[in-house]
Structure 1
Amino acid sequence: MTKRRRTRQLSAEERRLWSHVARHVKPMKGKALPPEPEPEEGTATAPAPQVSLSPPPSLQALPPQPKKPAIPPLAPVERKTLTALRRGRKDVDGVIDLHGMRQEEAHFALIGFLHRAQHSGHGLVLVITGKGGASARGGMFEERGVLRRMVPHWLRLPDLRSLVIGFEEASPQHGGSGALYVRLRRRQGAG
């Protein structure tokens, strides 16, 4: 059983519009332009409605919205600080170990840790992501090193930029490519 397709008749305005569009294209070989529709008695004398492109007066008087301050660019950890960390003359203020966590769990743990660290007045923390070794499940399509790739992305997001000044890969004794030094901003209002 085949269904019949319902067809709707075009209104006079739709036929006029289609004719106008069709007149501005080159017809395919063997095809003719559609005939110009005959104007209806009521529509021929009615003027076309005027469209105003300016905003209504009520919106013209509104003051411009204040712009949010631009987020400053990330700054790398100073070379002097990195050297002191590598030589053992400086310690990190706090450490969080994310490896072994799922992405969502790690993301929330990182946000909470950074907020607590900033509140405690910490300036430099160590975030351990792990290097993304062999998958525990051993699946062929298992993604490896997800946190190692995602944590830098999270640290660049606007919601953490109020906390993070910058970050660098940790030195080998702190985890190397499986960890990051993260510099934190001072808490607003803290002396």
Structure 2
Amino acid sequence: MSRRRKLSDEERELWDQVRRTADPLHPTRKAEPEDQAEWLPHPVRKAPKKPLEDVPTPPPLEHFTIGMKAKKGKHKLGQHLSPAIEDEVAGAPLNMHKKTHTQMKRGKLMPDARIDLHGMTLAQAHPALVGFVMRNHAAGHRLVLVITGKGKVKETDSPIPERIGALRHQVPMWLQMSPLSHLVLQVRQAHLRHGGGGAYYVYLRRTR
């Protein structure tokens, strides 16, 4: 809020001269009392600036690298944008007979057929997988083996992590999508004798 000071004799004389020559905006309104015209706003004083030497210096930043505080697990940092595909497949609900499922996981069931997608592009592998599953389902087969390979680690300077093994990640997704979703009962990672992490058991539904 501005402060006021009292007019000097020269300022009062000048103010009286101006007031006598001015026409009032509202003739019916009473003139202001004399004492109210004797005060003018006092200039507001600005706070003095703080010397630069008094400004505190911020502490230095700690060394930081991407992912340094992430929880360490069994997977290498930067390899997975989401939970590992083997964990997602293993965590899927059990839809088949428990005893048969246990035998399949232990590698004690022999697949009725197999397809090797290793080395194919995604555009080549998808129709090959669809045709393979549909043919085997029509033939009444129950257990088939899909080989994808584990994928290779690519050396890159990109800060964005990349998945290892595109086919290994895509095949479970394709099996859950149309037109295969209503033909597939269960998907599990294969036993070591049938390819381990580079292959999947696909247990098909019975033909109607």
Give the alignment's TM-score, normalised by structure 2: 0.48
Contact 2:134 2:180 in 1 (8 A): no
Aligned-residue RMSD, C-alpha: 2.6
Partner residue in 2 for 1:106: 125
Q: Letter of the aligned partner of 1:170 in structure 2?
A: A
Q: Letter of the aligned partner of 1:187 in structure 2?
A: T
Contact 2:143 2:203 in 1 (8 A): yes
Contact 1:76 1:167 in 2 (8 A): no
**For residues 96 and 176 of structure 1, do their structure 2 counterparts lie closer, same or farther at Cα, with a shift above 3 Å needed?**
same
The DSSP-based 3-state class of the residue aligned with 2:145 is strand
**CA deviation vs aligned residue, 1:148-182 (integer Å, no higher than 9, x gap):** 00001111113211211111011111111111100
**For residues 87 and 158 of structure 1, do their structure 2 counterparts lie closer, same or farther at Cα, with a shift above 3 Å needed?**
closer
1:133 is displaced (CA, Å) by 2.1
**For residues 105 and 131 of structure 1, do their structure 2 counterparts lie closer, same or farther at Cα, with a shift above 3 Å needed?**
same
Partner residue in 2 for 1:6: none
Contact 2:116 2:148 in 1 (8 A): yes
**CA deviation vs aligned residue, 1:118-161 (integer Å, no higher than 9, x gap):** 111100101111101246xx777786300000001111113211
The DSSP-based 3-state class of the residue aligned with 1:125 is strand
Tell me, in whole angstroms, the C-alpha distance in 1 between the residues paired with 2:173 and 2:191.
20
Structure 2 residues without counterparts, runs of 5 or longer: 1-91
Partner residue in 1 for 2:207: 187
The DSSP-based 3-state class of the residue aligned with 1:181 is strand
Aligned length: 114
Which residue, 148, 151, 155 being the options, matches 1:129? 148
Which residue, 158, 172, 181 being the options, matches 1:161? 181
Q: Which is greater in Rg?
A: 2
Q: Indicate the larger mover: 171-180 or 80-89.
A: 80-89
Contact 1:126 1:179 in 2 (8 A): yes
Contact 1:133 1:145 in 2 (8 A): yes
Give the alignment's TM-score, normalised by structure 1: 0.52
